Amino acid sequence: MDAPSAAIIGGALCVVSLSWNRMGPAYTRRRLAPVALISGIAVLTLWNFNNTLADDFLCGVIDSCGESELPIVLRHAVAWILLLVIGGSLVLHGSGSYGAYALHSLVLGWIIVLASLAFSLAFNPSGSISMAELVTPLPVILGMISGLVAILGMVVLSESLEPPLPPAPALDDEEKRVVRTTLERHLGGRGE
Amino acid sequence: MTFTFASGFLVGYVVMASAFSIHLVATYRPKATSKLLISASLVNTGISMWLSMELSVEVVHESLIALSYSFALVPLIASLVLLKITTNNSPGSV
């Protein structure tokens, strides 16, 4: 069994993408976030233990996968996550939360969300989700929660031990112009 | 189940520690990111990875597969939240 280096690289690229996406629009790194996300998903989905693509996308359903199920499980997870993100975005857009009420967008979004739900539960590579499969990962989830607690502890420790940062310097003329233009554009002014 | 409680716990811990270190390095800003926090996070990740070197690849695979299966409940929970948003914002709702 090969080391899952490709899965690690793919997962790391996805984390990097989410981190960059959280940065402000002024950072060049944020513009690279979609590229990093697509690259990470590509590495995750194309990865195979034998470095071949002999197993097709649905090999888990017809029980023809190789010696480990991890690659097909990851592909399966990527598929339902993408469906959920696209469907959820359409539902939020169509429901009027972020704009006008749009029935077409709402209906299409719900169809995709239900497809994600069906794909994640019914068309699982192992057949279907059982209670045992939901209880088995409890040690892993507890480990993740412990990791999160340790992270919170490190943040609190670093904030208490380091002096607070000095106030940010005032904006220069160019930065003021950019801020003014952005505000005018969003408030209905002409902008530049 | 092919992994023990300790091995599964360690895999989960390594996942979180690694993700946080990657996040800190990816969003590093000179004079704004705490060097103490980065150092502590990298040491935490290094130690947890060193401990996980004892785990076999199969155990790591089984742990991640089990975790992926449990995440399959996310669309169910998300659809309930989306249903609440849809009904709250529908035309005619108060």
Model confidence pLDDT, tens digit, residues B11-37: 999 999 999 999 999 998 887 788 899
Helix axes B74-89, A70-94, angle to 10 degrees: 0
Note whether A57 and A105 are same-domain residues: no
Determine whether the interchain pair A161/B41 forms a contact, defined as Cβ–Cβ distance below 8 Å: no
The pair of structure tokens assigned to B63 is 């742990």
In this model, does residue B52 exceed pLDDT 90? no
**pTM of the full structure:** 0.75
- In this predicted structure, the answer to whether residue A56 has a pLDDT above a threshold of 50 is no
Among A80-89, A156-165, B5-14, name the one with the lowest average pLDDT. Answer: A156-165
For residue A66, pLDDT over 60 is answered with no
Q: Residue B79: CB partners within 8 Å, gap ≥ 6?
A: A113, A114, A117
Domain match, A40 and A92 both: no
A168 or A56: which leads in pLDDT:
A168
User: What is the SS3 assignment for A127?
Assistant: strand
Is B57 at the interface with chain A, CB within 8 A? yes
Residues A140, A73, single domain; the answer is yes
Joined tokens for residue B40: 């502590």
Residue A75 has pLDDT above 90, yes or no: no
Residue A169 lies in a domain: no
Q: Among residues of chain A, what percentage have pLDDT more than 70?
A: 80
Mark whether A63 and A73 lie in a shared domain.
no
Which site among A22, A47, A135, A144 would you substitute to test the B interface, given the most B Cβ atoms closer than 10 Å to its Cβ? A144
Residue A155 lies in a domain: no
Least confident of A2-6, A159-163, B48-52: A2-6
The verdict on residue A24 lying in a domain is yes
Tell whether A173 is covered by a domain.
Answer: no
Instruction: With a cut of 80, say whether residue A159 has pLDDT above it.
Output: yes
CB pairs under 8 A between A and B: 186
Residues A73 and A136 in one domain: yes
Distance (Å, whole) CA A112 – CA B79: 11
A165 within some domain: no
pLDDT at A2: 52
What contacts A143, CB < 8 A, 6 or more positions away?
B8, B9, B10, B11, B12, B13, B14, B15, B16
Residue A136: domain span: 69-147
Percent of chain B at pLDDT exceeding 90: 37
- Check CB contact of B93 with chain A, cutoff 8 Å: no
- Of B7, B40, B90, Cβ closest to residue A157: B40
Asked if the Cβ–Cβ distance from A147 to B15 is below 8 Å, we say: yes
Give the per-residue pLDDT at B19: 94
HSE-CB for A146 with a 13 A CA cutoff: 16
With CB atoms and an 8 Å threshold, state whether A74 touches B68.
Answer: yes
A104 CB-near residues (< 8 Å, 6+ apart): A94
Return the residue matching tokens 């992270």: A151
- Does residue A147 register a pLDDT over 90? yes
Check residue A77 and give its pLDDT.
85
Percentage of chain B with pLDDT > 70? 94
**What is the structure's pLDDT at B47?**
94
Q: How many domains does chain A have?
A: 2
Q: Are residues A60 and A74 in the same domain?
A: no
Query: Among candidates B37, B67, B52, which has minimal Cα distance to A145?
Result: B67
Question: Which residues of A fall within a CB distance of 8 Å from B60?
Answer: 4
pLDDT > 60? residue B75 = yes
pLDDT at A118: 87
Tally Cβ neighbours within 10 Å of residue A120.
Answer: 25
Pair A129, A141 in one domain: yes
Task: Answer yes or no: is pLDDT of A149 > 60.
Answer: yes
Question: Do the domain assignments include residue A162?
Answer: no
Task: Show the 3-state SS of chain B.
Answer: CCCCHHHHHHHHHHHHHHHHHHHHHHCCCCCCCCHHHHHHHHHHHHHHHHHHCCCCHHHHHHHHHHHHHHHCCHHHHHHHHHHHHHHHHCCCCC
Please tell me which of the candidates B8, B34, B44 has its beta carbon nearest to residue A162. Answer: B34
The pLDDT, as a whole number, for residue A55 is 45
* Chain A contact for B3 (CB, 8 A cutoff): yes
pLDDT in tens, A102-116: 888 899 999 999 999
The token pair at A127 is 């057949």
Same domain as A98, residue A29: no
pLDDT at A129 over 90: no
> Tell me: the pLDDT tens digits for A9-47?
888 999 999 999 888 777 888 888 889 989 988 887 776
- Cβ atoms within 10 Å, residue A42: 13
Residues of chain A with C-beta less than 8 angstroms from the C-beta of B67: 137, 140-141
Q: Is the pLDDT of residue B70 over 70?
A: yes
Domain final residue pick, A67, A92, A113 = A67
Q: How many CA atoms lie within 13 A of B90 on its CB side?
A: 9
* Confidence label for A51 from pLDDT (cuts 50, 70 and 90): very low
